[in-house]
Amino acid sequence: MTLTATTALLSYRDGTLLRAGEPHRVLSGSMHYFRVHPEQWRDRLERIVALGLNTVDTYVAWNFHQRHADRPASFDGWRDLEAFILLAGDVGLDVIVRPGPYICAEWDNGGLPAWLTGRIGMRARSSEPAYLSAVSTWFDDLIPRLAALQASNGGPIVAVQVENEYGSYGDDAGYLTWLRDALTERGVTELLYTADGPTDLMLDGGSIPGVLATATFGSRAREASALLSARRDGEPFLCAEFWNGWFDHWGELHHVRSVPSADATLDEILDVGGSVSLYMAHGGTNFGLWAGANHDGRLQPTITSYDSDAPIAEHGAVTEKFHAFRERFSAVSGRPVPAVPGDPRILTGRSVRVTKGAGLLEALLSAPVTAEHPAPPSFDELGIASGMVLYSASPLLPRGENAITVTGLHDRAQVFVDGVPCGTLDADGSVPVTGRGETIALQLLVENQGRINYGPLLGQGKGILGGVQVGRRLVHGWTARALPLDEWTASEVAGFAGAYAATRDADAAGFSTARVVLGAGEPADAFLALPGFGKGFVWVNGFLLGRYWEIGPQRTLYVPAPLLVEGENTVTVLELHRSGTTVEFRARPELGEREEYVETF
């Protein structure tokens, strides 16, 4: 049987992948523009070339471009996807684009805007009319931009993925064909493909007749190749994601994959004639509050670093894995690869004392009231995607022991009575409180720790989705203050930090600030540590780096050099539990105790 696709730069015939009609092997690596500072895009892309790759692939994160339903999508600055694609072409790479609209990627909500899932709940990734209508509008803006950069138009885009690992989620074949048509109707003419786990279940759900089927996996490459060959005779073997490393969750160990293990599976892929994309070639960082979460019966929020034990480390340094893969890719391609760039310069280590600012509650209570409701409103009802909400009510607390119970909690609540912290809930549960037969000031500070990005709970809301009870009695009459931390401007961060005089205990929760002075030519990549701090958020010069948490595994946060300036730099910390006295810049990243991990199906 002969299958042929001939309408694109990449095509295939009798199981052989072709580029412009000649046998070709895609040697690709994943790098996400939204996880790398734009001033560092070129450096990282040049390192991908030096790795011996001929292609880069990237997801497109819808929510990164359109945070609010009533505002147009942004394609400027960090969100200038077209500039990233053109830059990749400029350094000599082909580009594969994965526009979703769902991307997983350990990214908040799998890339879907919270405003969309807030409307339709957990009915995304289906033929749900409201979902398709929103995707259609988004694609009207996005896809023509990509179509203009296809190889057929002189650009570097050579392939476009349809959805993402859909067979791990659903079986709505009509939805997949609708997406395929949505791409072609808006001008996509390059090679289309789907990507799914290498099992019959996943390929049954995620494949489309006439569209190249590829696989995502971390091991057992020969089995994956044999399965695809048996199911899709005449199609070339492409590993659309080779998991040469893995991501981390808070409270777990730092996942790594040894060079011999990763190299052996890469050899399998290449030895059977396969094409491959490294996931990741360069992982980057979940800056701000963009890290997603998994759920295996409990929430598993993803850490700020997305280093992923990739060949190119989070800060751009090349690794032992880089050199091993580079040797293999050079041998396969039969052509010399460029010299390896030197590692980025690192800021010298230093420790800086912090100045205590406003306490946690006093600062956050200075935020304006967003809404008043009989029941506590959700994040979606308040119109915020991420951050925190401070809920306040004034219930009568009977004498004696009482239980304040929260149901439908997503994700984490700190409970305060009359300004005093009484406990923390990581799931539905109760906090014991002693009453005096008087009205109390009850506050619950609820943190969204990342929206689920994979599995049947995709689209689940955040905040208090149930209620709060004193004993059996529901508490009504709530005010809510929305705290979208990642949308605060630098002046807003400074305003909250200095909202009141610093009268709190030295180690109490709240804002702290450090001033770091750098001389001429001194700004460089840095690794920020917060010894003595417990859990919270940190800004550098008004830019939200992300979350930190003493439970690890991550101990340092990566600070890209472009965020630092000559002269005074401001580090602002919002601590939720226990403040330290210094912030430190360390000489190397500290991502935690290592654990060998190989994902398999």
Torsion angles phi and psi, residue 453, rounded to 5:
-110, 0
391: three-class secondary structure by DSSP: strand
**Euclidean distance between CA atoms 513 and 497, whole angstroms:** 8
Residue 293 β-bridge partners: 301, 452
**Euclidean distance between CA atoms 538 and 557, whole angstroms:** 9
Long-range contacts for 77-83 (Cβ within 8 Å, ≥24 apart)?
77/38, 78/33, 78/34, 78/37, 78/38, 79/34, 80/38, 81/33, 81/145, 82/145, 82/149, 83/38, 83/41
**Euclidean distance between CA atoms 583 and 557, whole angstroms:** 11
C-alpha angle 369-372-373 in degrees, rounded to nearest 5: 150
- The tokens 């179509």 sit on which residue? 147
Torsion angles phi and psi, residue 109, rounded to 5:
60, 20
* Residues 468, 376 contacting (CB under 8 angstroms): yes
Nearest to 393 by CA among 372, 420, 414, 370: 372
Cα torsion 117, 121, 124, 127: sign:
negative
- The tokens 């550098």 sit on which residue? 540
* Residues 391, 420 contacting (CB under 8 angstroms): no
**Euclidean distance between CA atoms 164 and 193, whole angstroms:** 10
Catalytic residues: 165, 241
**Euclidean distance between CA atoms 494 and 501, whole angstroms:** 13
Q: Token digits for 546?
A: 């992300």
**Euclidean distance between CA atoms 6 and 117, whole angstroms:** 38
**Euclidean distance between CA atoms 228 and 238, whole angstroms:** 9
- Work out the burial of residue 72: count CB atoms within 10 Å of its CB; fewer than 13 is exposed, 13-18 middle, 19 or more buried: exposed
- The tokens 């790098």 sit on which residue? 31
**Euclidean distance between CA atoms 511 and 537, whole angstroms:** 10
- The tokens 């040894």 sit on which residue? 258
**Euclidean distance between CA atoms 435 and 207, whole angstroms:** 60
Q: Token digits for 264?
A: 């052996």
With b for 16 or more beta-carbon neighbours within 10 A and e for fewer, the 310-342 pattern comes to bbbbbbbbbbebbebbbeebeebeeeeeeeeee
